[in-house]
Amino acid sequence: MTIMECAGCTLIAYGVPFSMFVFTIAHHPFRVIISMTSAFFWLLSLLLSSFLWFAVVPLRTQLAFAVPFAVIFQEIFRFLFYRLIKKAEFALQRVQMQELTDKGMVFDRFAVAYASGYGFGLISGTFAIVNVLSDMTGPGTLGIFGHSQDFFIATAFLTLCVILLNTFWGVIFFTSLDKGGIHRFIGPGTVVLTHMLFSCITLVNRTLTPMYTISLIVGYAILLGMIIYTVVLRGFNLNNIRQRIN
Amino acid sequence: MRSSVIFVYLLLSILCVYCSQPKRIVDQMYISFDHARYCVRRLNGTHEIGCQSSASGNSGRMYMIDNDEEFNSYLMNTKLIDSSGSFIIVLNVNLFNTYYVDKLITSLSSKLNGLLLYLKSTPSRPEYFSHDDQCPNHRYSYYLNQTEIINWNSKGTGLFFRSFPFPIMLIDEEDDYKQLIKFYRQFNYSQSSSPTCGLELKSFQNAAHSSKTCIRRNDISHSLIDLEETFCDPVGGLNIYSKLPQSFIIIPKKRQPKSVILILTTTDSFQMFLKIKGTTGGAQQPATSLITFLALAHLIGQEQNEFKQQDKEIIFVTLDGDALDYSASFKFMFDMINGSFPIGNQNEEPIKVEHIHSIIEFQSLSLTDKLSLYTYPSSLINQTFIDTLVHNNPMIIPMAVDSSLPPASSQIFLRQTSSLSFPAYILTSTNQNQLSNHYYHSFFDDPSTLSINISSLEYNSTTEFSQWIKNIVESFGQTLIESFVGIKKNVTIKQEIINNLVYCILKNINCPLIHNVTNQSTGNSFDSSNETSLPFSINTYPVAATPTFPFVQNILSYFLRDRIYDTYNLNETTCKQYSNNDSFCSYTYVGGYAPSIMSEQSFDGYCVRSYIRSVSSMSPAFTIDNYDLSQTTYPAWTESRWTTISLRLFVIPTRKHEIITLVIGILLLSVSFIVCFILRYYTNISLLQPSSS
């Protein structure tokens, strides 16, 4: 009865993002819209990647060829979304909606970056795991051909990692571009490099007896690094944090 | 507008890209067995028989039982039985009988989720394998009531007529068995809590309860919402009859009483385990009888000049549907009593019960040294006929006067006429009141039981079996001529013809014989059944594209053709013109079957004048208006419809693993929820505060 396993893996992959959604995005219609639009941009990047995959006929079976290009396309579309947001912010400022500002409808750049990263991550994670989840609903699990039984849990944790990573990449990307100067290159550069590193590490999982621990550890290490980078970028130091907590 | 069209096209192509991806996880999780035999559900007026699975399949932990000791140790191993909620028992086919099955059902009760039988290898097949009743076709009153009840099929388990709440499948291919045992040994040998193998059997049957309920449900249509869905089909095929195209009794000429002799055989059988594109069994019953029947028809056709000198008609009849409560015989007698035999031409005087002289049946013949001749009733039989028959063929042993008849269609012919009108002569292979067929109504009834090596059988191979048939047919033909024409004549049939019939029926129905006796378009319809033998299984109405009926129709009508036309050199258009003037016979233009043609000249094509009729053999229960199907006047068998049948092997995760996964998931969700909650209400982080932007 692997319905239990399917439910468990769904909760692992979507538990934390669900809480994030409830407490940070659900109450804010603007952030909901940003998330959905951002997800749509991710879909467009996937469309382009699949065209490339489809076009290069001999390399269709070699996933290792398609993955780096998929990463590059995703980051390009993240940048395009940033440009779109910039235009919207500019237009909103032109209109100078005083009533909206009184109501508290401010253009919070950090929130927008966060929501965009979240949307990107959610759709990316969904595409990674939803096929696996639907195959899990049958009576059996992996193992008849010698695969490891931990595939499903590992996939769920990797999906969680992907969603969270994308959220922080979004924040880093947008914040760095807004800051200008040297950050305009360091921020996006870090994002692209770590994204590439993470995706290529997951290719290791495709062998018959994969070491899921490698990709999981690398993924969560990258996540930790991204969290620290975000915190540094936002200018937090110990005093600020103490202020916030009170 | 154009851009949206392009966009939709792009999106569809992405979907195609994803759909054509062959590497889905599900391919790495399940091993499918596509050549498994399965048991289906059938219904009669009041009950259902057969097997049923749930709509999404029955799955459970696999446990293999190979012999009696393993069986007993399994039932005593309560720890193992408690360890899993459902089991699929993989049972050696030798252990498939009422004792073991009932014990499993009572010990495991609801935990028994399915049964998979396996055959280790072809030589290791059990000696007896028949799941028909011990006294076949002896239900309600669908048999001739005689004083003594004999168990003709004493090794029969009767499991075919039981209703199982779980699916039963059978793997008979050696590769499948090897794969199964390999994975079983790999995973299930150790009784530790490592993951074990499981099986899923899916054979959902649409019909339920009884024929009456199912036929009623067929007619329910929710008009606006959906189309009518058919859940079951009535059992029935075609009853085919043919005779020499002699003179016809055209109204107002009167038919003489006792002027028609019927020669009967059946064309159907059943198996408990069906297979798509698989052998159906039926080599001894009914193929042997059918081959004898067709060869006798050829002999009669060959000697038609002798038979023209007397006034009795010999009509050859094949019945389809008698394996289940003699449905076809009931239909035939129903037609005869109601004056619709023979159909086709209203000007032809119907044949009624008083016109029948006697019936002769070939039933359950096997390659035996001795054949039994059953006759009934003693008051009407012609002893001279029996004596001549025995004299011409010492292999035939007449049974004692008024002894109980074996399962045979003649029982219904006698029952419906109260055994007062005509006698029945049944030729069968029994030995001391036991059918010689060890695999009666089972798929194991294949040509190897007739000492035929099917892989090396050629179109014109003379086998012990075909020589045995020649012997029987010639002596029978001789007896018929002696009894009805009154002359002693040594008749012979070419061995080649019997060899060809054996090859066509038992090995490859798409043979030169059928192409020689049919016109081009009919002959081409057999190409799709290349390299398959004649299927003998339960046919349902509407009649599916089974090659059985066209095969029998064309060969029977050709063998009994008007042989004067063999000497005419006609072309196709002339042949068609003849058919316009004759409303009793059919005219086909065929290539011609050389061994059958006696004339010295040979032409490119022959016009064949023959008399052939086919009638639906569905039980009268389905054709009489307002007939309550739960009545037992006529049998009312139906077969369920089904969609997919599948058998899959996989690994079942351990309970511990499943629970750990679920617990981790719930923990993550609740912990993250609580953390976010705390952060919102006890800190000042702007991201988490509810606002309107």
Residue A239 vs residues A242, B395, B688, B689: alpha-carbon distances, Å: 5, 113, 20, 20
**Cβ contact, residue pair A15, B17, below 8 Å:** no
DSSP states of chain A:
-THHHHHHHHHHHHHHHHHHIIIIITT-HHHHHHHHHHHHHHHHHHHHHHHHHHHSGGGTT-HHHHHHHHHHHHHHHHHHHHHHHHHHHHHHHHHT-HHHHHHT----HHHHHHHHHHHHHHHHHHHHHHHHHHHHTSS-BS-TTS--TTHHHHHHHHHHHHHHHHHHHHHHHHHHHHH-TTHHHHHHHHHHHHHHHHHHHHGGGGSSS--HHHHHHHHHHHHHHHHHHHHHHTT--HHHHHHHH-
Identify from B29, B197, B667, B676 which residue to disrupt to test chain A contact, counting A C-beta atoms within 10 A and taking the largest count: B29
Please report, to the nearest 10 degrees, the dihedral formed by the alpha carbons of residues B364, B367, B368, B369 taken in order: 140
SS3 assignment, position B29: helix
The answer to whether residues A91 and A83 touch, using CB atoms and an 8 Å cutoff, is no
B196-205/B58-65 β-pairing: antiparallel
**Cβ contact, residue pair B25, A131, below 8 Å:** yes
Q: A118-165: per-residue pLDDT in tens? A: 999 999 999 989 988 988 888 888 888 877 888 899 999 999 999 999
Chain B residues within an 8 Å CB radius of A12: 661, 664-665, 668
Question: HSE-up of A29 (CA within 13 Å, CB side)?
Answer: 3
The answer to whether residues B40 and B642 touch, using CB atoms and an 8 Å cutoff, is yes
Beta bridge partners of residue B435, listed in sequence order: B430
**Cβ contact, residue pair A142, B658, below 8 Å:** no
Provide the pLDDT for residue B15: 39
**Cβ contact, residue pair B665, A8, below 8 Å:** yes
Question: HSE-up of B359 (CA within 13 Å, CB side)?
Answer: 28
Q: In 3D, which of B103, B111, B113, B155 has the Cα closest to residue B133? A: B155
**Cβ contact, residue pair A19, B675, below 8 Å:** yes
Nearest-10 crossing angle of helices A29-55, B2-19: 70
**Cβ contact, residue pair B57, A104, below 8 Å:** no
Cβ-in-10-Å burial (0-12, 13-18, 19+) of B76 comes to: exposed
Chain A residues within an 8 Å CB radius of B688: 23-24
Q: What tokens appear for B676 in the block? A: 């976010």
Identify from B24, B27, B28, B199 which residue to disrupt to test chain A contact, counting A C-beta atoms within 10 A and taking the largest count: B28
Q: How confident is the model at residue A240 (pLDDT cuts 50, 70, 90)?
A: low
Write down the residue that tokens 């993955």 correspond to. A67
Q: Give the closest-approach CA distance of A112 to chain B in angstroms.
A: 10
Q: Give the closest-approach CA distance of A28 to chain B in angstroms.
A: 5
Beta bridge partners of residue B428, listed in sequence order: B372
DSSP states of B559-626:
HTS-GGGGG----HHHHHHHHHH-SSSEEEEE---GGG--SS---S-EEEEEEEEEEE---GGGTSTT
Write down the residue that tokens 């467009």 correspond to. A44
SS3 assignment, position B520: helix
Q: In 3D, which of B477, B365, B375 has the Cα closest to residue B425? A: B375
- Give me the residues of chain B with pLDDT under 70, please: 1-23, 189-193, 222-223, 691-693
Per the model's pLDDT, the better-predicted residue between B94 and A65 turns out to be: B94
**How many Cβ contacts (< 8 angstroms) between chains A and B?**
170
The answer to whether residues B687 and A110 touch, using CB atoms and an 8 Å cutoff, is yes
**What are the two backbone dihedrals, phi and then psi, of residue B101, each rounded to the nearest 5 degrees?**
-65, -45
- Answer left, alpha or beta for residue B453, where phi above 0 means left and psi between -120 and 50 means alpha: beta
**Cβ contact, residue pair B25, A135, below 8 Å:** yes
Chain A residues within an 8 Å CB radius of B651: 140-144, 149
Provide the pLDDT for residue B123: 87
Q: Give the closest-approach CA distance of A228 to chain B in angstroms.
A: 17
**Cβ contact, residue pair B24, A135, below 8 Å:** yes
Q: What tokens appear for B449 in the block? A: 């039981």
CA-based R_g, chain A, Å: 20
Query: Chain A: residue nearest B188 by CA?
Result: A144
Q: In 3D, which of A191, A176, A185 has the Cα closest to residue A223? A: A191
Distance, CA of B530 to CA of B45 (rounded, Å): 37
Question: HSE-up of B261 (CA within 13 Å, CB side)?
Answer: 17
Residue B580 vs residues B241, B289, B577: alpha-carbon distances, Å: 22, 36, 5
| Residue A41 pLDDT > 70 | yes
**Cβ contact, residue pair B665, A147, below 8 Å:** no
Q: Give the closest-approach CA distance of B81 to chain A in angstroms.
A: 17
The answer to whether residues B423 and B380 touch, using CB atoms and an 8 Å cutoff, is yes
Chain B residues within an 8 Å CB radius of A4: 658-659, 661-662
**Cβ contact, residue pair B651, A28, below 8 Å:** no
Per the model's pLDDT, the better-predicted residue between B554 and A184 turns out to be: B554
Q: Give the closest-approach CA distance of A244 to chain B in angstroms.
A: 5
Write down the residue that tokens 């233009």 correspond to. B589
**Cβ contact, residue pair B669, A108, below 8 Å:** no
Chain A residues within an 8 Å CB radius of B679: 23
Q: Is the ipTM of this complex over 0.85?
A: yes
Chain A residues within an 8 Å CB radius of B693: 28, 30-31, 104-108, 111
Q: Give the closest-approach CA distance of B197 to chain A in angstroms.
A: 8
Identify from B12, B31, B182, B661 which residue to disrupt to test chain A contact, counting A C-beta atoms within 10 A and taking the largest count: B661
Chain A residues within an 8 Å CB radius of B659: 4
Q: What is the DSSP letter of B237?
A: -
Q: Give the closest-approach CA distance of B677 to chain A in angstroms.
A: 7
* A11, A54, A244 member nearest B684 (Cβ): A244
**Cβ contact, residue pair A153, B31, below 8 Å:** no
Query: Chain B: residue nearest A236 by CA?
Result: B685
Provide the pLDDT for residue B21: 40
Distance, CA of B20 to CA of B14 (rounded, Å): 10
Identify from A9, A11, A103, A161 which residue to disrupt to test chain B contact, counting B C-beta atoms within 10 A and taking the largest count: A11
**Cβ contact, residue pair A135, B29, below 8 Å:** yes
pTM assigned to the model: 0.88
Query: Chain B: residue nearest A46 by CA?
Result: B14
**Cβ contact, residue pair A140, B200, below 8 Å:** yes
- Cα of B382 vs its chain's centroid, Å: 35
Find the length of chain A.
Answer: 246
* A5, A28, A149 member nearest B693 (Cβ): A28
Chain A residues within an 8 Å CB radius of B685: 244
The answer to whether residues B59 and B113 touch, using CB atoms and an 8 Å cutoff, is yes
Provide the pLDDT for residue A103: 64
Write down the residue that tokens 């809590």 correspond to. B193
**Cβ contact, residue pair B665, A15, below 8 Å:** yes
Amino acid at position A74, single letter: Q
The answer to whether residues B435 and B365 touch, using CB atoms and an 8 Å cutoff, is no
**Cβ contact, residue pair A47, B648, below 8 Å:** no
**Cβ contact, residue pair B676, A23, below 8 Å:** yes
**Cβ contact, residue pair B686, A245, below 8 Å:** no
**Cβ contact, residue pair A144, B649, below 8 Å:** yes
Q: Give the closest-approach CA distance of A191 to chain B in angstroms.
A: 22
Q: In 3D, which of B684, B508, B647 has the Cα closest to residue B34? A: B647
Would you call the peptide bond into B286 cis, given omega within 30 degrees of 0 as the criterion? yes
Q: Give the closest-approach CA distance of A184 to chain B in angstroms.
A: 24
**Cβ contact, residue pair B693, A107, below 8 Å:** yes
**Cβ contact, residue pair B29, A144, below 8 Å:** yes
Using a CB cutoff of 8 Å and minimum separation of 24, what contacts does A71-76 make?
Answer: A71/A192, A71/A195, A71/A196, A71/A199, A72/A192, A73/A45, A73/A46, A73/A48, A73/A49, A74/A42, A74/A45, A74/A46, A74/A49, A74/A120, A74/A124, A74/A195, A75/A188, A75/A191, A75/A192, A75/A195, A76/A45
Provide the pLDDT for residue B318: 97
Provide the pLDDT for residue A105: 63
Residue B569 vs residues A75, A114, B565, B572, B592: alpha-carbon distances, Å: 85, 94, 8, 10, 12
Max Cα–Cα distance, chain B, nearest Å? 120
